[in-house]
């Protein structure tokens, strides 16, 4: 079997940014015929939205792109996910801090901020607060493209 790269996208509630990244990345690799090379999921560092479906703003972006997110519900990041995933990709510095709190440490260097892969130290703004899902989409696409390039260089 093909070696699989396992990616976990992480944000505060797992209803806006991280599911957007999950489904955009899945779509990106599917269009390249490479879905079998990746296992992609998303999760929350908080408990506020657990069990809830994707935020209508993210749903609108994905609907417009014709990308399915069927059945996605917010789940919490677990300590055991550290061993299961190759990349734990956070949307902002608060997510990094909270991920480190859940994991205890990052001894294998798996925790990143998404926009690091787009050569930026910027955070992906939370559209829950900004209301601007298009800016978030632009950043998520840039980060996902960069992530795929990074994985391909390894």
Q: Which of these is catalytic: 11, 16, 90, 144?
A: 11
Q: Which two tokens stand for residue 80?
A: 């055991």
Active site includes 11?
A: yes
CB 58 within 8 A of CB 23: no
Residue 28 tokens, joined: 């990106």
Tell me which of 16, 17, 90, 139 is the catalytic residue.
17
CA distances to 18, 22, 61, 153 from 43, in Å: 7, 10, 19, 26
One of 81, 126, 139, 144 is an active-site residue; which one? 126
Coil, helix or strand for 7? strand
Question: Which residues are catalytically annotated?
Answer: 11, 17, 126
């Amino acid at each position: 079997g093909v070696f699989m790269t396992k990616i976990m996208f992480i944000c505060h509630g797992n209803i806006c940014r991280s599911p957007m990244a999950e489904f955009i990345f899945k779509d990106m690799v599917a269009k390249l015929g490479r879905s079998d090379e990746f296992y992609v999921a998303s999760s929350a560092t908080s408990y506020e939205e657990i069990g809830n479906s994707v935020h209508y703003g993210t749903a609108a972006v994905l609907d417009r792109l014709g990308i399915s997110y069927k059945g996605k519900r917010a789940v919490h990041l677990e300590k055991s996910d550290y061993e299961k995933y190759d990349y734990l990709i956070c949307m902002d510095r608060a997510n990094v801090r909270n991920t480190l709190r859940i994991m205890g440490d990052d001894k294998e260097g798996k925790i990143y901020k998404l926009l690091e892969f787009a050569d930026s130290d910027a955070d992906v703004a939370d559209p829950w607060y900004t209301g601007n899902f298009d800016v978030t989409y632009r950043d998520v696409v840039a980060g996902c493209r960069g992530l795929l390039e990074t994985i391909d260089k390894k």
